[in-house]
Amino acid sequence: MFQRIGYPVFGVSGKELPNWLDSICTNEMESIEAFLVGQTEGESCPVNQIRQVTKLPVISVLEQNSLPEILRQFEVGADDVVRKPVHVREILARVTAIKRRRDTSRSVFELDRLRVFTDGRDPEIDGNSFPLPRRERRILEYLASNGDRRATRSQIYNAVYGLFEQDVEECVIESHISKLRKKLRKVLGYEIIDSKRFLGYRLDAKVETARAETTAKDAGARATGGRFGQDLEATVG
* Mean per-residue pLDDT, 154-169: 76
Tell which CATH architecture fits domain 3-104.
Answer: 3-Layer(aba) Sandwich (3.40)
Rounded to 10 degrees, what is the CA torsion of 97, 172, 205, 112? Answer: -80
First to last CA, the chain: 78
Beta-bridged to residue 203, according to DSSP, are 193
Question: Rounded to whole angstroms, how far apart are CA atoms 141 and 27?
Answer: 21
The answer to whether domain 3-104 and domain 106-208 are alike in fold is no
pLDDT beyond 70 at 234: no
Write down the domain spans for the chain. 3-104, 106-208
pLDDT digits (tens, 9 = 90+) for 124-148: 999 999 999 999 999 999 899 888 8
Among 32, 38, 36, 73, which Cα is nearest to 54's?
32
State residue 204's pLDDT score.
86
pLDDT beyond 70 at 220: no
Identify the burial level of 140 via C-beta atoms within 10 angstroms of its C-beta, where 0-12 means exposed, 13-18 middle and 19 or more buried: buried
pLDDT beyond 90 at 237: no
Instruction: Reply yes or no on domain 106-208 having CATH 1.10.10.10.
Output: yes
**pTM of the model as a whole:** 0.56
Region of 120 on the Ramachandran plot (φ > 0 left; ψ -120 to 50 alpha; else beta): left
CA-atom Rg of the chain in angstroms: 24
